Amino acid sequence: MQHYFGHIEGKTAYIEEQDALRAKQVKRIELHEQVEIAEGERVYLCFCKSLHPLSFEVITEISETREPPLKLTLAFSLLKGDHNELLVLKGTELGVSRFIPFVSARTVVAPKGKEDNKLLRLRKIAKEGAEQCRRSLIPEVSDYATFEEVVQKATGLRLFAYEEAAIHGRSLLDYALKGETEATLLIGPEGGFTPKEAELAIKAGFQPVSLGKRILRAETAGIAGAAILLLSSER
Distance CA 85, CA 87 (A): 5
3-state secondary structure of 215: coil
Distance CA 14, CA 227 (A): 33
The length of the chain in residues reads 235
How many of the other CB atoms lie within 10 Å of CB of 159? 26
Instruction: Report the alpha-carbon angle 210-102-134, nearest 5.
Output: 80
Q: How far is CA 235 from the centre of its chain?
A: 20
- For every one of its 235 residues, what pLDDT tens digit does the chain have, with 9 covering 90 and above? 899 999 999 999 999 999 999 999 898 999 999 999 999 889 999 999 999 899 999 999 998 888 999 999 999 999 998 999 999 999 999 999 999 999 999 998 878 766 688 999 999 999 999 999 999 999 999 999 999 999 999 989 999 998 776 556 578 888 776 678 999 999 999 888 999 999 999 999 999 998 888 888 999 999 999 999 999 888 7
Distance CA 38, CA 4 (A): 6
- pLDDT at 114 (0 to 100): 66
Report whether 209 contacts 171 (CB < 8 A): yes
- pLDDT at 163 (0 to 100): 76
Q: Alpha helix locations (H) across the chain? A: 17-25, 83-94, 117-132, 147-153, 165-168, 195-203, 218-233
